[in-house]
Amino acid sequence: MSNRLIPFILALITLAVNISMPLFRVYAANAGFGNGMTALVFATYVTGMLPCFVFLGGLSDVVGRKKVLIASLMSSIFSILIITIFPNVYALFFARFFQGIGLGLSMGAGTAYLTEVLQLQNIPDAPTKAANAASLSTALGFGGGALITTIALLIHFTETPFTYYIALIISIIGLIFSFQLPNLPPIGGTIIRLPYYPKGSFEINLAIGICWAVVGVVIAIVPTQLAKFQLTAYAGFCLVLINYTGAFLQPFIKNRVDPITCLKVGFFLIPIGFEIMYLGCVYGILGLILLGTSCIGAAAYGFTYLGGLALIANLSGVQRARGVAGFMFIGYLGFGIPSVFLGFMADKLGILAALGIFGAIITILSGWLFYQLKSSRK
């Protein structure tokens, strides 16, 4: 039961993160928010997550995995409850914050918990199987929340879609079942574990920061442009493709493509995907936008993510856990901060101009990183 329940809980926590994403722009427009303020609402999620992710990485080691996982799910339930009762952009600030806390506490604890449960069952290669299960369940959750709300809005547009209630009910059921999980003894240690950046990791960390910055921009800024072509309801599909494309590719990439090649492919896909999406935004062609977001997802949660993770793990040695934490920290900084700057830039210069400038920057950086990687590996 625990083998399935822990991934299910992780999927519920990540489901809550994007359940309201297709309505971000609608809530913001009702309050008269521009692109900058909308991006700030989006980034509130990161402010809730990063302190937990960076400074409380050892919490579950001290108090126990089960307690932290339950607290994470409760935080996600609270976030859904907030936006269901108050479907507006001001409530979204608080909802996003609690979504970030839920995710920040659960990611490391859930994977470690599942690993320990599998090891008690004498299942071989438990850490790898736990990591794969956690990766798949969270990818399904991230994309699934946006997908079901997008479909609901296409059927009947409302600011409180029935998916909010479904997610709330399923999450409460998951919470009830979570109390049946085994109480494993804490392994002990310190709560605060700062990230570690080994020598040679700069370009790798910057790569994931760029990829996830593009993802953040797609989620926070592009829906406004879609609205100009009456395509608001399709914004959720962008996020679905970003998450599901990467998740779909992971089993094919892992153990078949070496990490360096993965990064090189990512450096190619990110600017290409962004430019395709940009053309779709210019001319209002939904197919190009979806194709571009698929390319972005292939890099952000496929090639660059897996390749970078493997390289960081090798470079970090015995400090592997802290090295991966540093990798994820830079990724989430990229995910939240650039979208806020670009949002305010879009308010001043226009969305297309801001996206064009951003596209030029990531193209230059991707080319530079490709050259640096090639030079450093000679």
Banded model confidence at residue 376, pLDDT cuts 50, 70, 90: low
Spatial distance between the Cα atoms of 218 and 343, rounded to a whole number of angstroms? 11
Of residues 276 and 318, the one with the higher pLDDT is 276
Q: Which residues of 49-85 are buried (b: 16+ CB within 10 A; e: fewer)?
A: bbebbbebbbbbbeebbbbbbbbbbbbbbbbbbbbbe
**Least confident interval from 36-45, 83-92, 169-178, 287-296:** 36-45
CB 30 within 8 A of CB 165: no
| Alpha-carbon dihedral angle through residues 318, 320, 326, 328, given to the nearest 10 degrees | 180
For residue 86, pLDDT beyond 90: yes
Taking all residues of the chain, what is their mean pLDDT, rounded to a whole number?
85
Task: Please count the other Cβ atoms lying within 10 Å of the Cβ belonging to residue 169.
Answer: 11
Residues contacting 102, CB < 8 A, separation 6+: 13, 16, 17, 72, 73, 74, 75, 76, 79
Give the model confidence (pLDDT) of 321-363 as tens digits.
Answer: 677 778 888 888 888 888 888 889 988 999 899 999 999 999 9
Higher per-residue confidence, 213 vs 308 = 213
302 pLDDT exceeds 80? Answer: yes
CB distance 231 to 281 below 8 Å: no
What is the per-residue pLDDT for 318? 61
CA triplet 273, 208, 222: central angle to 5 degrees? 40
Which residue would you say has higher pLDDT here, 168 or 305? 168
pLDDT digits (tens, 9 = 90+) for 172-223: 999 999 999 888 888 777 777 777 788 888 888 999 999 999 998 888 888 8
Q: Kindly list the structural domains of the chain, giving each domain's residue range(s) and its CATH number in brackets, ordered by start.
A: 1-193 (1.20.1250.20), 194-378 (1.20.1250.20)
Cα angle: 232, vertex 233, 237; to 5 degrees: 105
